[in-house]
Amino acid sequence: MKILHTSDWHIGRLLYGRNRYDEFSAFLDWLAGLINKEGIHALLVSGDIFDTNTPSNRSQELYYRFLCKVSVSGCRHIVIIAGNHDSPSFLNAPKELLRALNVHIVGSITENPEDEVILLKGISDVPEAIICAVPYLRDRDIRISKAGESIEDKNTKLIKGVQRHYADVCRIAQKKQEKYNSIPIIGMGHLFTAGGKTIEGDGVRELYVGSLAHVGKDIFPDFLDYLALGHLHVPQKVGKSEHIRYSGSPIPMGYGEAKQEKSVVRVDFKTFGNSNLPGNRHPLKITLHTVPCFQALERISGGMDEIIQRIDEMKSKDSSAWLEIEYTGSRVAGNLRELIQEAVEVTGMEIRRIKNKRVIERVISRTCEEEMLDDLDVTDVFNRLLDTYEVAQDERPALIQAHKEIMTLLHEEDTNEE
């Protein structure tokens, strides 16, 4: 059986206000072509389909068009779980209709863990694999809050809650496996594993309050033949385990990812039956398929001469890259934007952002009103407010903790739910 694992599409994501629908469309067309070319039997999408829980009409059009295209190809099944950016109720709304196309949606957990166990059948209705399709587990799904708990207590409960939920779902899958000649069990998840790699500017949110809630690979049952994870944008194995992987995001979410090679993961199960692998897992073959670059992103940093020289080099190659410029020269460049705009005129290049580091450093040191808001995240803004209102140092830890909890609740709120 041939499985393709991808995640973190973030359809609808903007880059400094610029829409990227052409990129998303090109990726989905490429993915549909790869599925057809490679004869993929099942596609697994491990969360963060959309960038927000209220996707635009164009984002929805791209999503549903892709599902229709793949459903009439040789791909027999598509399994999609919600990520922390997705609205569970939005993804779940058409699930009964999509099931007719063999598209299986798991937007949120229910009272019955069996709802997350999906039996994939092949030709002549023969069972081929069992999917433990565990969506992003929200704090309120797996932990009961109590007054007076420390952050360590909360994190311990979160990790135990994640472990308990996977154990419940996988136990049901294991019982099903006994009926069907030991077919593979494949897990899915959207979470942050301990030691996972991230990149500056990738937009990966902290899922729970406190970094201690990063789970270890030991929380997953060892009999899972493959674990298809989402959330981290860097393609990577978890620890040294070949069978536990993040596929990563298929297009760069920001300039920090611009030089990163993007990929999707193909998993081939060659044989069924007993094996010598831990947990009696089935042998598998992993192949990474590199995703083409659909829109070049280029970060240029340096003095004015260096910036203009680099732009001229790119001009000579007919580049159509989107540029992020960071001026780090020693001289104050008051006409920086005009000079750079002039340099890219009559080219296919676009300037998405110009960052005058000299000005920003001066502004920040003086706490000047010219400071750019997009240089700060919500935590930076909150800390600035604590400074502005001269909050005592011994009062800050409790306020910072409360702020983090509020932000987590806001991110997890499903605005489409009635």
Distance between CA atoms of residues 291 and 50, nearest Å: 19
- Mean pLDDT of all residues in 72-83: 95
Output the pTM of the full model.
Answer: 0.84
- Mean pLDDT of all residues in 252-273: 87
Distance between CA atoms of residues 379 and 139, nearest Å: 20
pLDDT surpasses 60 at 265: yes
Q: Give the model's confidence band at 212: pLDDT under 50 very low, under 70 low, under 90 confident, else very high.
A: very low
- Mean pLDDT of all residues in 259-286: 79
62 in the same domain as 190: yes
How many angstroms separate the first and last alpha carbons of the chain?
A: 40
Look up residue 261 and give its DSSP letter.
Answer: P
Distance between CA atoms of residues 180 and 184, nearest Å: 10
Distance between CA atoms of residues 360 and 90, nearest Å: 40
157 in the same domain as 266: yes
Q: What is the span of the domain harbouring residue 311?
A: 296-375
- Mean pLDDT of all residues in 358-376: 55
183 in the same domain as 165: yes
**pLDDT tens digits along 137-174:** 988 888 776 776 777 777 888 889 999 999 999 999 99
In this structure, are residues 63 and 98 in contact, taking their beta carbons and an 8 Å threshold? no
In this structure, are residues 256 and 222 in contact, taking their beta carbons and an 8 Å threshold? no
Which residue has 């989402």 as its token pair?
230
Q: Give the model's confidence band at 283: pLDDT under 50 very low, under 70 low, under 90 confident, else very high.
A: confident
Could you list the beta-strand ranges (E) of 253-329.
Answer: 263-269, 284-290, 297-302, 322-327
pLDDT surpasses 50 at 195: yes
Question: Strand order in 2-6's β-sheet?
Answer: 103-106, 77-81, 42-46, 2-6, 263-269, 284-290
| Token output for 170 | 């996988």
415 in the same domain as 357: no
Q: Which of 226, 257, 290 is the last residue of a domain?
A: 290
pLDDT on residue 279: 58
205 in the same domain as 326: no
CATH value at residue 93: 3.60.21.10
pLDDT on residue 11: 98
Q: Which of 344, 359, 375 is the last residue of a domain?
A: 375
363 in the same domain as 393: no
pLDDT on residue 207: 53
188 in the same domain as 285: yes
pLDDT surpasses 90 at 281: no
**pLDDT tens digits along 385-406:** 888 777 888 888 878 877 777 7
209 in the same domain as 69: yes
pLDDT on residue 141: 83
Q: Which of 341, 357, 375 is the last residue of a domain?
A: 375
408 in the same domain as 324: no
Spell out the long-range contacts of 394-402 with Cβ–Cβ below 8 A and sequence spacing 24 or more: 401/151, 401/209
pLDDT surpasses 80 at 261: yes
51 closest CA partner among 94, 18, 17, 83: 83
Higher pLDDT, residue 64 or 395: 64
327 in the same domain as 400: no
pLDDT surpasses 60 at 180: yes
**pLDDT tens digits along 291-328:** 999 999 999 999 999 999 999 999 999 999 999 999 98
Least confident of 30-44, 151-165, 224-238: 151-165
**pLDDT tens digits along 329-338:** 877 777 888 9
For residue 2, list its beta bridge partners. 268
Number of domains comprising the chain:
3
45 in the same domain as 9: yes
194 in the same domain as 137: yes
pLDDT on residue 169: 97
